Amino acid sequence: MLLNIKAKFLLSAGVIASAAAVWHLLCIWGGTSWFIFARAPIQIIESSQQGTLLAPLGSIAIAGLMFACTAFALSAIGLVRNIVLTRTALIVIATLCIIRSLIIIPALIRADTWNIIASSVWLYVGVCFLVGAMTFHNLKPNTNS
């Protein structure tokens, strides 16, 4: 099965979303220091320190959303069964990723390397999902070979 270049970009975005989902789940296992390293909001860090459910449930919810992004990417390129509203989901995902990437603006002022890298990655992912949404019907694999 050969994928066209646009499908490969969408596949890479799905892989990045899955990796981020796994990272969020690993933060639960890693504990407070991992949440701090991941630049989690203070409420999540405090939850982790106090052993309340906000940190693990929040991490699971975010991971679930990121795995859903991967599922929509794989559906769009034909690697898994078609999911209803895939094109709409791709547009929403692209928009959210691009908005997330705007964190780079204050990060540039503070020279925060972590947020600059994260913002760049999410901008790439957002653009990949946007390309996927724009070319949704042309992403199916080439079965000639």
Structural domain span for residue 53? 5-138
Closest listed residue to residue 59, CA positions, set 28, 81, 36: 28
CB atoms within 10 A of CB 5: 8
CA–CA dist 1, 143 (Å, integer)? 6
The residue whose two tokens read 């890479």 is 12
Number of neighbouring beta carbons within 10 Å of residue 145: 5
- Assess if residue 143 is contained within a domain: no
For the chain, how many structural domains are there in total? 1
Spatial distance between the Cα atoms of 103 and 83, rounded to a whole number of angstroms: 31
Would you say residue 144 lies in a domain? Answer: no
Per-residue pLDDT reduced to its tens digit, 72-102: 999 999 999 999 999 999 999 999 999 999 8
Is 63 a domain residue? yes
Q: Binning pLDDT at 50, 70 and 90, where does residue 141 land?
A: low
Task: State the pLDDT at residue 56.
Answer: 97
In this structure, the number of other CB atoms found within 10 A of the CB of residue 20 comes to 22
**Model confidence band, residue 108 (pLDDT cutoffs 50, 70, 90):** confident
